[in-house]
């Protein structure tokens, strides 16, 4: 089965074509700066076992339709094409950021589903509209393929009411859908599945805390394979300290900024989303840079790192209490997979609850899934490389197989 995964953003289309029989990537790429004076398309194709850049072009990509047409031209290219015709695609899996309360699982896309995604635009005004554009264009170009929407919020739909409600007038939940939704669900679901496989345990029997640390960052408490709490909220601003987002702050902070500094709502939005987090604390939002400066003795970099890791540690404690029994911590995302210092600081002093890192194993650069906990301790500490595209492809393939049954 061949599945094309599409992540359509406001000015970009990221894609990956999978042969699901062996879960191999046949091609991948990125069309970016769509609608700008000069766009760019980078396309990789499988040649003799590895993915190589076979096309790198700069030209006007007027809109998403043109972008996807250019991608198709690469996929069927006479020299480096990996399929002969678009009809070879069995399905297209679309990443959709917000499924609201309507989608607890992936959905075969039809007019009704499109309407439902549209109904959630108010909750994700920056993401759902370009996701819909990608769906619309793909439906017309790959008319024979099954189109499936995979939602970033779906994994968190199992949260109990006590975890998803905010203590504000209940009517706001009823009329406006104000509640915790959570994001990064595709990544959390992927690493949880991989972790269970690694531990040779059925998901129903395992309690985990999944820690996704990329530019955005979130944690999920997972009980018997089901998510029961997560740090991001109604928007991705809540929870952990991120590259440029503040995470948890006093909800009265915006009033203070408006009253005393006369900032507008838009300015406050920019301040909390783009000028805060690691960047706000030490001027750098790239963790590699923060770590390098910290090692050189930069006090602000150290301070930012302390705040960043303290927040993670605090949530580990909170989710330990929520779960009652913890089998494993799972670190993932660019930072979670690579930043040994972050893992060490976040887990420091947690031996009382069975969490202890093997220093050498933690510091050893390695690829693939691994256990960095001290042998024999109660809680396994795993590093699991995430792969959201593969998760979307797997979910899409499952939906197609269910249709065929």
Q: Which residues bind ligand ADP (CB under 6 A)?
A: 214-216, 243, 286-288, 291, 333-335, 338-339
Residues 176, 357: Cα–Cα separation, whole Å: 44
**Nearest residue to ligand ADP, by Cβ distance, number only:** 334
Residues 90, 5: Cα–Cα separation, whole Å: 11
Query: What are residue 46's DSSP bridge partners?
Result: 51
Burial code of 367-382, b = ≥16 C-beta within 10 A, e = fewer?
A: eebebbbbeeeebbbb
Q: Which is nearer to ligand ADP, 247 or 334 (CB)?
A: 334
Query: What are residue 96's DSSP bridge partners?
Result: 151
Hey, how many other C-beta atoms are within 10 angstroms of the C-beta on 169? 10
Q: Which is nearer to ligand ADP, 67 or 385 (CB)?
A: 385
CA angle 253, 258, 259 (to 5 degrees): 100
Question: Quick one: which H or E segment has residue 73?
Answer: helix 64-75
Q: Are 287 and 339 in contact (CB under 8 A)?
A: yes
Q: Which is nearer to ligand ADP, 157 or 285 (CB)?
A: 285
Q: Which is nearer to ligand ADP, 42 or 338 (CB)?
A: 338
Give Cβ neighbours of residue 143 (< 8 Å, ≥ 6 apart): none
Question: C-beta of 293: minimal distance to ligand ADP in Å?
Answer: 12
Question: C-beta of 51: minimal distance to ligand ADP in Å?
Answer: 17
- Cα distance from N-terminal residue to C-terminal residue, the chain: 15
- Here the tokens at position 46 are 């499988």
Nearest to 187 by CA among 66, 325, 332, 328: 332
Q: Which is nearer to ligand ADP, 154 or 290 (CB)?
A: 290
- Reply yes or no on whether 152 is catalytic: yes
User: Maximum CA pair distance of the chain?
Assistant: 63
Name the burial class of residue 96, with classes exposed (0-12), middle (13-18) and buried (19+) by CB atoms within 10 angstroms of its CB.
Answer: buried
Question: C-beta of 17: minimal distance to ligand ADP in Å?
Answer: 20
Question: C-beta of 291: minimal distance to ligand ADP in Å?
Answer: 6
3-state secondary structure of 25: strand
Q: Which is nearer to ligand ADP, 335 or 400 (CB)?
A: 335
Map tokens 């619309």 to a residue. Answer: 136
Q: Which of 79, 90, 152, 360 is catalytic?
A: 152
Catalytic residue numbers, as ranges: 152
């Amino acid at each position: 089965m061949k599945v094309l995964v599409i992540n359509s953003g406001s000015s970009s289309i990221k894609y990956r074509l999978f042969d699901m029989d062996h879960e191999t990537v046949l091609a991948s790429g990125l069309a970016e700066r769509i609608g700008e004076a000069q766009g760019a398309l980078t396309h990789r194709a499988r040649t003799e076992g590895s993915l190589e850049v076979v096309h790198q072009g700069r030209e006007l990509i007027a809109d998403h339709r043109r972008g996807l047409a250019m991608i198709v031209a690469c996929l069927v290219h006479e020299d480096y094409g990996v399929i002969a015709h678009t009809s070879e695609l069995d399905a297209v899996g679309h990443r959709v950021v917000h499924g609201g309360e309507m989608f607890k699982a992936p959905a075969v896309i039809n007019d009704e589903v499109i309407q439902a995604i549209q109904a959630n635009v108010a909750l994700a005004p920056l993401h759902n509209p370009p996701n819909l554009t990608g769906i619309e264009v793909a439906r017309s170009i790959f008319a024979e393929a099954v189109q499936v929407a995979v939602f970033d919020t779906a994994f968190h739909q199992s949260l109990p009411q006590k975890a998803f409600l905010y203590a504000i007038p209940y009517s706001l939940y009823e009329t406006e859908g104000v509640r915790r939704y959570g994001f990064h669900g595709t990544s959390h679901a992927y690493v949880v599945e991989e972790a269970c496989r690694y531990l040779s345990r059925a998901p129903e029997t395992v309690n985990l805390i999944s820690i996704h640390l990329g530019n955005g960052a979130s944690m999920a408490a997972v009980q018997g394979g089901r998510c029961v709490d997560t740090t991001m909220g109604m928007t991705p601003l809540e929870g952990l300290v991120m590259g440029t987002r503040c995470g948890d702050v006093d909800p009265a902070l915006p009033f203070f900024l408006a009253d005393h500094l006369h900032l507008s709502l838009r300015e406050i939005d920019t301040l909390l989303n783009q000028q805060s987090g690691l960047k706000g604390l030490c001027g750098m939002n790239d963790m590699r840079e923060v770590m390098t400066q910290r090692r050189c003795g930069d006090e602000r970099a150290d301070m930012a790192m302390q705040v960043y890791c303290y927040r993670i540690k605090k949530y580990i404690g909170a989710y330990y209490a929520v779960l009652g029994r913890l089998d494993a911590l799972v670190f993932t995302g660019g930072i979670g997979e690579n930043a040994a210092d972050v893992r060490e600081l976040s887990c420091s002093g947690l031996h009382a609850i069975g969490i202890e890192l093997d220093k050498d194993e933690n510091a050893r650069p390695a690829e693939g899934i691994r256990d960095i906990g001290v042998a024999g301790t109660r809680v396994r500490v795993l590093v699991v490389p995430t792969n959201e595209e593969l998760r979307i492809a797997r979910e899409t393939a499952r939906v197609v197989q269910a249709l065929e049954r």
